[in-house]
Structure 1
Amino acid sequence: MAKLIADFPVQFGLGKRISPSASTLRTGLVLLALSSALAACSTADTTDTIRINKEQGSEENIDSLTAVINSNPSDPEGYNTRGSAYGRAGEFKRALADFNRALELNPRFYQAYANRGLIYRNLGEPEQALQDYNMALQLSPRYDVAFIGRGNVYRQAGQLDQAMNDYNKAIGLDTTDPRAYHNRGLIYQKRGNHAKAIEDFSTAISLSPNSAEPYNGRGISYVAMNDDDNAFADFNHAIELDGKLAESWANQALIYERKGDLKRAYKSYSHALSLDPKYQPAKDGVARTRGAVAAN
């Protein structure tokens, strides 16, 4: 059955991290860099947004899925599959219509409830999302995807105990979904338990080794433990996997800044800003390092 995957979204990185104490080198400057990372932690919560892939909504792809529906219009699977394609393409209203139709045809289609919950979450309707995740779990009490999705809604609302409980339930079901570990790691990180956070990010990496976001998460916890070498390796690998994530470049710049290499820091912050002109940590980093670079 097609599932709408919200695994590692557009900004999974520096976004929700707790930053460490500054090193003694250039203390004042580094504290500013770390407070910038901390600001990102509270403003960029996108670990459960849908990664947009316009190809999923291409005319050719949608036409083929529509042909399947037309050949068997009473089959809810077809609508669920097309709804997933619409969702991945960012066409949320069309996705919602298809999931609604799938549920009209089969009111016990728990996967469609979870998929619709994801769409509601991306539309900024958490109460509707919770209702759908609850219904999915009522119909299928061991559905790990619904526990993770509901946990994400709770985490976004700041209800961390409830979110942790849902992630633990998914993990207790032996889920292979990396989001359960990654998002639990974010909570450990927020609570300052960086050893546990690193353990969970590492598990997420083992389950999804080609995703950049858990490397960013683990790197920030390494920074918090003053392990800049491992942090730098993780941030660099995140860039290798996906060079379009602004937070990866801003994280790399943070290490350069901690090391006092302001020229490279400025370059990386600038690149992050070119990728996402609204990304505040990159803006702050450029502002901090521009003057030092110009003075040299």
Structure 2
Amino acid sequence: MAKKAEMSLCSGERRILVVKRGLYALGIASMLAVAGCQSTNQTADMISIEKEQGSRENIDSLSSVIAANPNDPNAYNVRGSAYGRAGEFTKAVADFNRALQLNPNFYQAYANRALVYRNMGKPVEAANDYTAALKLNPNYDIAYIGRGNIYRQAGRVDEAFQDFNRAIELDTTDGRAYHNRGLIYQLRGQHDKAIDDFSKAISLSPSAPEPYNGRGVSYLALNDDENAFADFNHAIELNPKLAESWANQALVYERKGDKVKAAKSYQHAVNLDPKYQPARDGLNRTRGAS
């Protein structure tokens, strides 16, 4: 298994919502199709802006290291990661460029630059960098996961599935591989397999709320409201600031006929993310409940 040298990530890509068959004249198959599009359009692999790692003091310290070792590609790679954490993406790319000039075989720098390109809204450049990393190291699981996310969001689901499979075959310990493959199983209506993958993702990343939301959606698709509700509630406990968790919880309340609680949860989701359409739609359905 390849060692992880890419910047650590926070997951912000998994927003899926389904409704029970026949509810509000929407079949579960059609709603899953909508949910798949909703999830596909979300941004994956967002860099987590961290004050400590991206602080001016930390960057100044790394700059001192570079001044003392101006031909060390590792130093540029580390500072580029710090710039990425600080949200200074142009400077990050410049450092990764320099690292690759000094060491054209530095596959981790390709993957790090790809991640920054993703955050800059340049998926083509990002995919090319992940591919370059894989040419240098065909066993680099991180690059398969990153490229797979780009393919999945571009609608190239079969290619994404192959990349996630390859990462899993390499015994990756990165839960994103299982989570994102689970999303594809979910999109294909293979909910038992999706649940297995989400459960594996949870075992690898137990503090991440997204796999709980994903697994809960598939439980709903199988009409297992009890387990779905437990997963959505746990997702909220892990991170109460995700709109989709509250909207998913609201959906279970709605399925139970408790429109008052549903409306409160939908409203909370809208407050967190006014643009999250499933929450807005749910609130419109349940607003005014007494």
TM-score when scaled to structure 2? Answer: 0.91
Change (3 A) 1:249 1:38: farther
Distance in 1, matches of 2:43 and 2:179, equals: 9
SS at match of 2:240: coil
Change (3 A) 1:168 1:33: closer
SS at match of 1:57: coil
Structure number with higher relative contact order (C-alpha < 8 Å, ≥ 6 residues apart): 1
CA-atom RMSD in angstroms: 2.2
What is aligned with 1:87?
84
What is aligned with 1:49?
45
What is aligned with 1:28?
24
Q: Would you say the 8 A contact 1:246–1:273 is kept in 2?
A: yes
> 1:35 Cα deviation (Å)?
7.1
Provide Cα deviations, 1:144-187, integer angstroms capped at 9, x if missing partner: 11111111111111111111111111111111111111110010
Provide Cα deviations, 1:9-63, integer angstroms capped at 9, x if missing partner: 23x34x145x35437xxx438x499977764541344362314324132222322
Change (3 A) 1:66 1:36: farther
What is aligned with 2:6?
3
Distance in 1, matches of 2:89 and 2:163, equals: 25
Matched, 1:164 2:161: yes
Provide Cα deviations, 1:181-222, integer angstroms capped at 9, x if missing partner: 111001000000000000000000000001111111111011
SS at match of 2:46: coil
Q: Would you say the 8 A contact 2:6–2:142 is kept in 1?
A: no
Residue 226 of structure 1, aligned match among 216, 223, 227: 223
Change (3 A) 1:33 1:4: same
Distance in 2, matches of 1:34 and 1:284, equals: 18
The more displaced of 155-164 and 49-58 is: 49-58
What is aligned with 1:278?
275
Q: Would you say the 8 A contact 1:147–1:167 is kept in 2?
A: yes
Change (3 A) 1:167 1:174: same
What is aligned with 2:242?
245
Change (3 A) 1:9 1:51: farther
What is aligned with 1:288?
285
Q: Would you say the 8 A contact 2:202–2:212 is kept in 1?
A: yes
> 1:104 Cα deviation (Å)?
1.3
> 1:65 Cα deviation (Å)?
2.5
Counterparts of 1:1-296 in structure 2, within 5 Å, are 2-6=5-9, 8-10=10-12, 12-13=13-14, 15-16=15-16, 19=18, 21-22=20-21, 27-28=23-24, 31=26, 39-44=34-39, 45-46=41-42, 48-55=44-51, 56-291=53-288, 293=289, 296=290
List 4+ stretches of structure 1 deviating above 6 A.
32-37
Q: Would you say the 8 A contact 1:219–1:231 is kept in 2?
A: yes
What fraction of aligned residue pairs are identical, expressed as a percent?
A: 62
Amino acid at match of 1:176: T
Q: Would you say the 8 A contact 1:239–1:249 is kept in 2?
A: yes
SS at match of 1:107: coil
Provide Cα deviations, 1:103-155, integer angstroms capped at 9, x if missing partner: 11111100010111122222222221121111111111111111111111111
Distance in 1, matches of 2:83 and 2:38, equals: 27
TM-score when scaled to structure 1? Answer: 0.89
Q: Would you say the 8 A contact 1:40–1:280 is kept in 2?
A: no
The more displaced of 44-53 and 237-246 is: 44-53
The more displaced of 145-154 and 232-241 is: 145-154
Change (3 A) 1:224 1:260: same
Change (3 A) 1:135 1:101: same
Change (3 A) 1:33 1:275: farther
> 1:87 Cα deviation (Å)?
2.0
Number of residues of Structure 1 aligned to a counterpart in Structure 2: 285
List runs of 5+ in structure 1 lacking aligned partners: none
